[in-house]
Structure 1
Amino acid sequence: MSIGNSPEDERPFEDGRSEEGHEEEARPSVGRALQQARIAAGLTVDDVSSATRVRIAIVHAIEADDFTPCGGDVYARGHIRTLAKAVHIDPAPLLARYDDDHGGRPAPTPAAPLFEAERIRPERRGPNWTAAMVAAIVAVVGFVGFTAFKGGDSDSDATSVAQGASPSASKPAKPTPSKTDSATPKSDPSDSAIAAAPQDKVTVQVSAVDGRSWISAKDHNGRMLFDGLLKKGESKTFQDSSKVNLILGDAGAIQLYVNGKKIEDDFQPGAVERLTYTKGDPEVG
């Protein structure tokens, strides 16, 4: 038997860990502390998840000290703070423990790069409906104004001719197309045409022999037979069972034949005449 130190005496000395080290080892981890506090509060993981809106999987991971699902230190610290308040414990010691275990508190993000990123981020703009509506309204107003202006010119021309004024040569009015228009100027009616005038109707032929004139013709019911400009050399013939009413804008340019007989009235140039003829007219011809 050897004489010397016993195995107990040959054991290595303690590693010299301080009381602070023992306290550090005895202090539970962040996840363990949150789990113990939750159980002490009588709460389930579902209860904590519903109260904090932190997903159940993340709550389980944090209680297992797995902070990877949090997506970074900033989010992990936020979850720790939220869960600590939900289980009624002070989050400050847990945050300090997390910082010690993960290399210290993360440095704050400089504000300037964030503002710069916001400034250079392209802004998505939708269609400018207000500008489109304004443009459409302007187009409609312009079209209505142009139409009214053109219509006003036509009405003024017709009115001036009806009152005996000479129509402007730069804006001749277009005659209304009619099936009775002839391609060539009509000459005075022949004897056969005069003889062919029906006896049971009133027949009026209007010819523009000395110029153009605006004319209007209506039947005995007031129905419009013609309303327009008769150019020089053109003729119109109207028939009715009892009566034809005429308005001549420039009576001096018109030659009339009523029931096959020429009307010898001395109409003055530029004069406006209102005439009515029946089946028995003209009495003198």
Structure 2
Amino acid sequence: MARQRPDGPFRWRTNCVRPVAPPFRRPPRLNLQQVATRSKGAPVSIGNSPEDDRPSPDDRPSPYDDEEFESVGSVLKQARVAAGMTVEEVSSETRVRVSIVHAIEKDDFSRCGGDVYARGHIRTIARAVGTDPAPLLERYDGEHGGRPEPTAAAPLFEAERIRPEPRRPNWTVAMVAAIVVVIGFVGFTLFNGGESGSGSKDPVAEGTPTSGKPAPKPTPSKPADPKPDPADSAIAGAPKDKVTVMVSAPEGRSWISAKDHNGRLLFDGLLEKGQTKTFTDKQQVDLVLGDAGAIKLYVNGEEVEDEFEPGQVERLSYTKGDSGDDPQVG
């Protein structure tokens, strides 16, 4: 810098040299293939030949790389929400477990058990939520290596004919039959010889006089003890300090119900023909007879003289002071 005299007081003039900037150079333009390749970290050659500008098959953009293209799981989830269905409702309708439905909506097909089952689940869920499964299956095949090829069935081979072996004679059965015949012949011979020996002694037996003692008279056998009457057993076994009701079905079956004074159920069921039930309580027994005409009642040791008609339903109550003639009709 050169310093000069000031023209006025405290004024100096300086000559400054400004640096000259290099000329601006515009960077070369890159095509789409070169930009995509450079973003991946691979070396890029900037050339003007048509072969360099032509994208390779591996670098061609895929229709599924578009961010606006929704995944299979998101499409199914949006369709389910639009249909107003929950995951549990979809699972109940499609028979697909809830955890698998959640996984598919998150594009996790590892729980499906393979591509075949995954495609089946996608098709079933899409139909349940009211969307077309065809584009979803195409999307799934494009992301998972295409549709699985059907496996050829194993060839069927005609089974060899089994030649029947010639049957051999069963000598064991023949020997057993021969032994049985020999034993039978020997036994028959011995039996006939014994009868001829006993026949020669018959005339001697006929000539012997019989003894004069008369034959003893047969003693009459005692009659069997008759079976005890249910009424007698009810009378003998009835306690005095309780109410005892015995229900019998001598002529037919009937439904009966019995409760104690607290309302606790003692019996509720069918009383078959010939069966007997006895109910005891400290205060009161309540009965319901479905077919009163087929029932015999014994209350506190006394038979109830009823006039119930067949098929008649009766509600009766008995206490420990009642007899067979004074029931309390419920």
Coarse TM-score class (shorter-chain normalised): 0.3 to 0.5
Higher helix share: 1
TM-score, normalised relative to structure 1: 0.41
Higher relative contact order (CA 8 A, sep 6+): 1
TM-score, normalised relative to structure 2: 0.36
